[in-house]
Amino acid sequence: MERNAMQDLVAWKESPYRKPLLLQGIRQVGKTWLLKEFGRRYYERVALFNFDEHPEYRQFFSSTKDITRILSNLQFAIGFPITEGSTLIVFDEIQDAPEVLNSLKYFHENGKGYHVACAGSLLGVALAKPSSFPVGQVDFLRILPLTFREMLVAEDEKNLIAYLDAKVDLDPIPDAFFNPLVENLKKYFLIGGMPEAMARWVNEKHSGQIDGILWSIIQAYERDFAKHPEPREYPKLMHIWHSLPSQLARENKKFLYQLVKQGARAREYEDALHWLVSAEVVTKVPRCTKPALPLSAYEDLSAFKVYAADVALLRRLAQLDISSFLHPTQLFTEFKGAFVENYILQALTAAFPVPLRYWTSSDNRYEVDFLLQHKNHIIPIEVKADTNISSSSLKAIKRLHDNDFGLRIRYSLQNLKLDGDVLNIPFFMADWTEKLITLALQRSV
């Protein structure tokens, strides 16, 4: 399947400032496949070294810091020459190989002609540990689950993609495109963006196999929880993970430790939650007390929401079968819109480099689902899963903070429309948000 990240990899290859590359992302999101496919397309050879399958390779890095000696040993191990520029060197499963991570410094300093890319499950956890990590001497690329647009590419929906890519106005979407896009979005909610589930659907069109694949992925994550260095943290990780559906099923989706376990306190569980965030199994969205630049200056560290890495994984974690969503709109309104919020978070995370926040009024009467800091704009965002799309919170945040935001966004099942400074974006256009923001701000000038 074609991934947007392939373009980023090509840009990395061609950059004169290229450093060794680290791919980060949740387990089974396709990091290794992507590197192998990238190497197949753009290099003469791929030299892949998996440090989980061959832990003995780590000795090549622990005994010397000389990359000439390291490469000599690697060449003997793989059986063909590794040449500058024409061989992609892939270090896979390096999360438990600190000596390999540390060697990236020497590849950057003394081997700029070699193209080195690395990946590993739980790499985010490894990087969060104090170590001799070569700060400033590597490039990073985050690999996320497939987006809705990537699903349309995989499904060969060329006409729908061409229409949305070419759209340069804010006029409503004609029914001939609107209706099939909604149907495809329902499919995305059920299948999700994990490559194995998507590939099975694309190749076989058998929905009955999807839930088994998703459950296997969830079980793989739970096996990873046991890799926490402190065994006593394992039950806490499981409690937090399995509380996710109940956390998001509430009208107020603020994370509550009491829903993790009766009597649970933050100080007992915050380390476990940090581990899950570092592993990218969940995404943490903190509350902002004031919608002003920079948002990071107004974070309330005591209040946050937690979402799943993928909308279909959330559905499977909640043990909701595909057949539960035969009703035309149930998929969007189930769990008080939790699936839609999770989907919008995924889309915006893939499209924008800055983390999202959310806002509530001081009396908790109003809540704006997300705040996006885009260039010099703070953009409040509401997600409306039901048919009532009145935006009382979007009105309140403007009134209470006496702030002319320039643009406020509402995602819903309604058609594309700019009403004053409120832009209604249909759910299926979330991946095109950046372009729509530009069009809306240009019109308001």
Q: Do residues 301 and 421 both lie within one domain? A: yes
The structure's pTM equals 0.94
Q: What is the pLDDT of residue 294?
A: 94
Q: Do residues 128 and 189 both lie within one domain? A: no
Q: Is the peptide bond preceding residue 294 cis, with omega within 30 degrees of 0?
A: yes
Q: Which two tokens stand for residue 108?
A: 């950057």
Task: Let me know if residue 428 belongs to a domain.
Answer: yes
**Strands 299-308 and 282-288, how do they pair?**
antiparallel
Q: Do residues 333 and 287 both lie within one domain? A: yes
Side chain identity at residue 258, one-letter code: Q
Q: What is the pLDDT of residue 327?
A: 63
pLDDT digits (tens, 9 = 90+) for 407-438: 999 999 999 999 999 999 999 999 999 999 99
Three-point CA angle 167, 408, 345, nearest 5°: 75
Q: Do residues 116 and 264 both lie within one domain? A: no
Helix, strand or coil, per DSSP, at residue 288: strand
Task: Let me know if residue 118 belongs to a domain.
Answer: yes
Task: Let me know if residue 340 belongs to a domain.
Answer: yes
Overall number of domains in the chain? 2
Task: Let me know if residue 155 belongs to a domain.
Answer: no
Q: Do residues 183 and 59 both lie within one domain? A: no
What residues of the chain score a pLDDT lower than 70?
130-132, 324-331, 334-336, 387, 444-445
Q: Do residues 128 and 177 both lie within one domain? A: no
**What CA–CA distance (Å, rounded) separates 280 from 186?**
24
**Domain of 12?**
5-142
Q: What is the pLDDT of residue 365?
A: 93
Angle 210-225/234-248 helices, nearest 10 degrees? 140
Q: What is the pLDDT of residue 312?
A: 95
Q: Do residues 217 and 128 both lie within one domain? A: no
Q: What is the pLDDT of residue 379?
A: 97
CATH number at residue 111: 3.40.50.300
Q: Which residues pair with 268 in a beta bridge?
A: none
pLDDT digits (tens, 9 = 90+) for 32-52: 999 999 999 999 999 999 999
Q: Do residues 440 and 308 both lie within one domain? A: yes
Question: DSSP secondary structure string, 97-111?
Answer: -HHHHHHHHHHHHH-
DSSP state of 146: P
- Find the distance separating the first CA and the last CA of the chain, reported in whole Å: 40
**Strands 139-142 and 282-288, how do they pair?**
unpaired
Three-point CA angle 196, 307, 266, nearest 5°: 130
Helix, strand or coil, per DSSP, at residue 157: coil
Q: Do residues 138 and 181 both lie within one domain? A: no
Residue finishing a domain among 142, 160, 185: 142
Residue finishing a domain among 142, 159, 183: 142
Three-point CA angle 156, 161, 164, nearest 5°: 165
Q: What is the pLDDT of residue 443?
A: 84
Question: Taking the CA atoms of the chain, what radius of gyration do you get in angstroms?
Answer: 23
Task: Let me know if residue 161 belongs to a domain.
Answer: no
Q: What is the pLDDT of residue 404?
A: 79
